[in-house]
Structure 1
Amino acid sequence: MLARSGLCVALLAIALFVMPALAQAQAISDPTPLHYRDAAEEARFHALAAELRCVQCQNQSLADSNAQIAHDLRREVLALMQQGKSDAQIKQFLVDRYGEFVLYRPLMDTRNSLLWFGPLALVLGGAGVLVWVVRRRSRHVQPMGDSEERW
């Protein structure tokens, strides 16, 4: 009886570790490869996919990601390319759908200018406060006279 329950626990443990790995392996493999019309289209596709961010992975490009949504987005990008859309139109389609986060190099505008210039403004502001404090303290310090005792 004890050996049987130990065997059941061992099989359950193996299943818990093996099943997610199998599911991940199945999710990674793309069952249908993309078909390009020519080498120029393939090069354009790879360049565009490298400029787009996977919306699930968040730190990988669309070209590098193995997430299922990345496979779907790559198909969508290729379909839009084959419909004759320009790179700018494809990017705008994805931005409209997922937001500017999908772009690796977002456009510079007033909404994200704080992200671009905020750290610099904080450093310059801190330096200004430091200079102000040092100047203020130096005005209040009295120089030592000759009659005062020095250590």
Structure 2
Amino acid sequence: MIEISPNEKYLITYSKEDHSIVGWNVEDIDKVQLKFDQAVKTNEDIVKSLCISDDKKLAHVYEKKRRGYHTINHTVVIDMNNKDKEIALSFKTESEHTEDCYCTFNLKGEFILYSKFYVNNISGSHKIIWIYSTQTKNNKWE
């Protein structure tokens, strides 16, 4: 898997083999060779979606196993400029009733997360698009 930041300043690659995410400086190109910046190891087995901001905020949606065979997708956001410190998402709960599907950063630097919320088996799912400011307050985005 490969993703590039909104203004094409930073690129990330994901390896299924060793579950690592590697960052590459795109602005600092030496001819046609990208310059390695840093690597991040994930604890998750299956990464469904990943995205990177121009200022190296990394988000990835991963599959999390719950109660036997039941799986649900959740999101982790880390700051690659700050020793891979995790950033919490306000308004977002880790629940069996919500499933994250896709994430991206827009050109304004906002973090966008597409999720589904399950009410019950009869109603099905409701789709939600969360838009977060990436101004960090107490290691949290609101």
- TM-score computed with the length of structure 2 as normaliser: 0.22
Structure number having the greater strand percentage: 2
Which one has a bigger Cα radius of gyration? Answer: 1
Structure number having the greater helix percentage: 1
- TM-score computed with the length of structure 1 as normaliser: 0.21
